[in-house]
Chains A and B, each alone.
Chain A
C-alpha cells in the first residue's frame, strides 16, 4: 500500500468507507460445492487444469471412474492453488474423508435455492437456470470427474457415454451405456436411451440453445463441433471442424449438451415437465416456491444416489435463508456471506467449516480503442494495471483480515490473464514464471506515473469510465468499480468521468459488444467456460464472440491471436499448457485488458450430519451439481435437527 495513498487519504475523507465495503461485500466466487448443495446462484467455480486430450477412456462402472491416458494429471494436481488446504488435527476445517463405505441410503436432503428457473428445458431455455435444474435429470455424454478430497481439476469421466476413443484428431467415437432407460411415465415409458436421443439433443442444441455459438460450427465458424451422427444404436461420432484440445471438456460442460428424449418434441412440454434418466426426478415443482427431487430408482449407476431425494425451497431473502440454516431446517448454506462466516461458526460451533474452491471466472477492465485513444499505447494500459493495489482490493472484498484474525487459513492469489482458479495452467504474477510482465501486476504508482509521462501524458489522462450500476453483475459490482476508480485517480494518474450506462440499451450493444469502439475505460464481467480456451478465445481473440481487442490498431494483436489459436488446436497436453503460459507472459507485457485483481479463500458452513460433505467436489458447482450430490448421505448418528 502506498504511503499517503488513496486508502490513507480516503480513510481520512470517508472514515467508514472500507468498513462499509466490508459490510457490503458478499461471498464472491469459490462456493462451488456449496452451490451444488444449495442450488444457489452464486458465482461459483472450481479449480481445474486445462482440458486433457481424449485418447481412450473406459468406464469402471462408477461415477468417479478412472480416466486413462490423461498426461499432465500429476502436474495439474500439484498445481492446485494455495487456497485449498486440507484439514489438519488443529485446523478448523472439516475433514475430507470419504465415508461412502459406511453410507446409509435414505433420507431427504434439505437445501435451498435463491432463485427459480426460467423453465425446465436445458436445451431451449434462453437462461442458464434451466441447465442447473436439467443437470439432475438429463445427463451429458461425458461429465467432469469430481475431486475426492481435493478440488476437481477438469478431468473428465464417463457420463451417458461409458467409453470413447479418438481415432483421428477430428473424430471422437463415443460408446453409450446400454442400461440407461428413460422415465417410466408416458410418453417415454421406460424405453432405452439411445443414439437417436443424442442426435435429437444435438440438433435441438444447434437450433435453440443460447450457447450454440460456443460449440456448433454451423452457427459459428470458430466453434469446434461440425456434427454428431449415429454409427449404431449405441455409438455416436463427434466430428470436429478442427483438432480441438478441450473437446471432451466441452461435451462435459453443464451449459451445453444435455441428453433429452425425442418425446420432448411434442410428447410433453419440457418447459414445465421432465422425463429424464439421470440420478434424480423432479417430483414436485411449484414456480417461485420450491423444487423437490427424488431418487431415480432406474439410474444407470447402481446404488447411487445414497439419498432418497432433496428439497430446495426457493428463498430469495438472505435473512430468511440464514435463519432457516441456523434453525437447522436447511442443512447447507451456499450463499453465506463471507462476513457472516466467523460469527455464525462462533455461535454454532457444531457447524463444519469448508474451504471453497477458487473461482475460474476472471472479470476485466477494458479499454476504448478508437483511433487516437491513449489506450492504444501499451504503456498507458500497463500504468492502469500498476495503479491497482491488488492485495488491498482482495483484502477488502474477501474478508481476508477477519478470517486471519479468527485463525482461518486465508490466502490471497492474483489473477494473471487466466483466472487463478485454473490450477495447472495459471501463472502466478507474484512468481518468476510470468517474466518481465510480472512487474505490471505490482502496485507501483511511481512507475505508473513514469509510464504515463513517457507516453505523453505527464499530467495524467482525463477520460470516461463506464460500468453498470443496476445489479446485472450483482450488487457488489459497482463497489468493485468504485474502488478501481479511486485507485486509478489516486496519485494523479487518471481523472475519470463516471458514466453508468443502461445495461440493455447502451452497455451491451455499445460497450460490451462494442469491440473497443468507445471512449475511455470500462469494467465488465465474464462468464464460466469448460476450459481456459473458452475464455481466452471469447475475450482476447479478434474473432471471439465477446472480444474487446480487435478495434486496436491493425485489427488486434496478431501474436496473441496466433498463440490462442495454437493452444486450442494442440492435442498434446503439456505442449498446450506451455503455449497458454507463453500467452499469459505475453499478455502481462501487453495488458490488452487488465484482469481483475484476484481472489482469496472463501468458506461455507454445513451441519455435520451430511455425510461426505466437502469430500466430493464438483468442477462446476452451478450446472453440474449431479456429480457430487449423489455422493452425499444422511448420517443419522450426528443429526440434532
Chain B
C-alpha cells in the first residue's frame, strides 16, 4: 500500500490519483490471472493431478478413453494458451464462466453467496472493533495497571485460540450440557430477519475474535505513541477535558494504522470464513470455494480468485482515500 505522503497534491489530484490506481489495478488483475492460471493449470497437474484425474479417481485410471472424453467435454483438451485466452476473454465480457461439474454459472453462485460472507466478515470486523478500540484505549490510558494487564492477556489468549476451535468447543459443550445446537436452516435477512440474526450472530462474533486481539494491541501501541505527542500535551495545556483529548485528538490519529489493518482484514475475513460456514452450515463463499478447490473446479477457482483480487484492490483504494478523513494533513 502506498504511504500517504506520496499522494499528489492539487486540483483534480484525487481524480488523477484514482485513475492511476485503477490502471495499476488492471495490471494487478492481469498478473493475478496469469499466476492463478499457471498455478492451477500447469503446476498442480504437473505435481498432482488435473480436474478429470481427481474426479474420475480409481475408475478413471481404468478407463483412459472415458477420461479423454471428459477432458474434451470439460473444454480442457485445447492448448493452455488458448484456454487462458478464452477465460480472459470471458472475464472481459463479464462472464465468470460455469462450473465444470454442474454447469451452474459462477456469477449466480457469487451473487447468492458473497453477501453472506460479506455480512459475516463485516459483522465480525465491527464486533472486533467494538471490542478492540475501547480495550486498546483503556489499556493505553491505564498503562501498566490492572486494566492494561487484563486486556493484554485477553489479546494474547484471543490470538492464540483459533475461532473455529472455539466454535467447535461451544457447539460440543452446548450440546453436551444443554442439548443446544445452532440453528440448522439458513434464512436470508429478507426472508426472516430475526432468524437470520440468530444464525449469523455467533459465527460472526467468533470470526471477529481473532482480529480483535491484534487490534487491541495496535490501538494500545498507537495510543501510547500519540498520547506522548506535543499536540496532545498542548491540548491538555489548553485545559481540554480528558475525554476530549483522548477521543478527539489522540484516538483519531491513532486510528490510521487501524483502518489500514481493517481494510486488509475484511477481504481476508470474507475469504477465510470457510471453516465457520462449514461448522454453522452457512451458504457463503468459503464453503463454495473449498468444495470447488477440493474438486479442482477450474472456472470457479479462477474466477473467485479474480473477484477476491478485485476486492483487495478496491479495499486498498478505499483505505487510502479514507486517510484524508482521519488526518486532514493528508492531501491528494
Chain A positions near chain B (C-beta within 8 angstroms): 116, 118-120, 125-127, 207-208, 210-213, 219, 269, 271-272, 286-290, 311, 313-317, 319-320, 322-324, 326-330, 347-348, 472, 502, 504-505, 508-509, 512-513, 527, 545-546
**Closest CB of chain A to B163's CB: distance in Å?**
14
Q: List B contacts of A269 (CB < 8 A).
A: 103
Q: List 8 A-B contacts (CB under 8 A).
A: A119-B101, A269-B103, A290-B186, A317-B279, A319-B279, A320-B278, A327-B175, A527-B58
Inter-chain pairs besides A119-B103, A546-B62, 8 sampled, C-beta below 8 Å: A118-B55, A127-B55, A287-B102, A289-B287, A324-B181, A328-B179, A330-B184, A472-B57
B171 with A323: CB separation less than 8 A? yes
A324 with B184: CB separation less than 8 A? yes
B103 with A272: CB separation less than 8 A? yes
A509 with B295: CB separation less than 8 A? no
B180 with A327: CB separation less than 8 A? yes
Q: List A contacts of B288 (CB < 8 A).
A: 287-288
Q: List A contacts of B58 (CB < 8 A).
A: 508, 512, 527, 546
B184 with A313: CB separation less than 8 A? yes
Q: List A contacts of B176 (CB < 8 A).
A: 326, 347
**Closest CB of chain B to A218's CB: distance in Å?**
11
- A420 to B280 Cα, complex, angstroms: 39
Q: Which of A126, A319, A508 has the most CB of B within 10 A?
A: A126
Q: Which of B48, B69, B102, B282 contacts A118 (CB 8 A)?
A: B102
B103 with A271: CB separation less than 8 A? yes
Q: Chain B 170-182 against A: per-residue CB contact (8 Å), 1 yes, 0 no?
A: 0110111001111
Total contacting residues, chain B, CB less than 8 A: 49
Q: 4 nearest interchain CB pairs?
A: A323-B175, A327-B181, A504-B49, A119-B102
- Secondary structure at the A interface, as helix, strand, loop or mixed, is loop
Q: List A contacts of B279 (CB < 8 A).
A: 317, 319-320
Smallest CB gap from B49: residue in A: A504
Q: Which of B62, B104, B179 contacts A327 (CB 8 A)?
A: B179
B283 with A505: CB separation less than 8 A? no
B186 with A504: CB separation less than 8 A? no
Q: Which of B69, B70, B104 contacts A272 (CB 8 A)?
A: B104
Q: Chain B 68-79 against A: per-residue CB contact (8 Å), 1 yes, 0 no?
A: 011000000000
- Say whether B258 faces chain A, with CB atoms less than 8 Å apart: no
- Contacts A317-B278, A330-B184, A347-B176 known; A289 to B55 CB distance under 8 Å? no
Q: Which of A211, A290, A327, A512 has the most CB of B within 10 A?
A: A327
- Contacts A126-B70, A288-B283 known; A272 to B184 CB distance under 8 Å? no
Between A and B, how many residue pairs show CB distances below 8 Å? 133
Q: List A contacts of B109 (CB < 8 A).
A: 287
- Say whether B18 faces chain A, with CB atoms less than 8 Å apart: no
Chain B positions near chain A (C-beta within 8 angstroms): 47-49, 52-63, 65-66, 69-70, 101-104, 109, 112, 168, 171-172, 174-176, 179-182, 184-186, 278-283, 287-288, 290-291, 295
- Contacts A120-B102, A317-B278, A320-B171 known; A213 to B62 CB distance under 8 Å? yes
- A502 to B54 Cα, complex, angstroms: 12
B48 with A502: CB separation less than 8 A? yes
Q: Which of A289, A472, A502 contacts B283 (CB 8 A)?
A: A289
B287 with A329: CB separation less than 8 A? no
B104 with A545: CB separation less than 8 A? no
**Closest CB of chain B to A138's CB: distance in Å?**
16
A504 with B102: CB separation less than 8 A? no
B66 with A212: CB separation less than 8 A? yes
Smallest CB gap from B56: residue in A: A126
Smallest CB gap from B287: residue in A: A288
**Closest CB of chain A to B235's CB: distance in Å?**
52
Smallest CB gap from B173: residue in A: A323
- A502 to B182 Cα, complex, angstroms: 38
A288 with B62: CB separation less than 8 A? no
- Contacts A118-B102, A210-B66 known; A323 to B172 CB distance under 8 Å? yes
**Closest CB of chain B to A293's CB: distance in Å?**
15
Q: List B contacts of A323 (CB < 8 A).
A: 171-172, 174-175, 180-182
Smallest CB gap from B63: residue in A: A213
Q: List A contacts of B57 (CB < 8 A).
A: 127, 472, 508
Q: List A contacts of B175 (CB < 8 A).
A: 322-324, 326-327
- A213 to B186 Cα, complex, angstroms: 42
Q: List B contacts of A330 (CB < 8 A).
A: 184
- A288 to B278 Cα, complex, angstroms: 9
Q: Which of B175, B182, B282, B287 has the most CB of A within 10 A?
A: B175
Q: List B contacts of A207 (CB < 8 A).
A: 69
Q: Which of A212, A319, A505 contacts B168 (CB 8 A)?
A: A319
B48 with A329: CB separation less than 8 A? no
- A272 to B105 Cα, complex, angstroms: 11
Q: Which of B60, B63, B281 contacts A313 (CB 8 A)?
A: B281
Smallest CB gap from A214: residue in B: B59
Q: List A contacts of B290 (CB < 8 A).
A: 288
Q: List A contacts of B101 (CB < 8 A).
A: 118-119, 125-127, 271
**Closest CB of chain A to B281's CB: distance in Å?**
5
- A527 to B58 Cα, complex, angstroms: 10
B291 with A116: CB separation less than 8 A? yes
Q: List A contacts of B278 (CB < 8 A).
A: 316-317, 320
**Closest CB of chain A to B287's CB: distance in Å?**
5
- A502 to B282 Cα, complex, angstroms: 33
Q: Which of B102, B176, B287 has the most CB of A within 10 A?
A: B102
A505 with B49: CB separation less than 8 A? yes
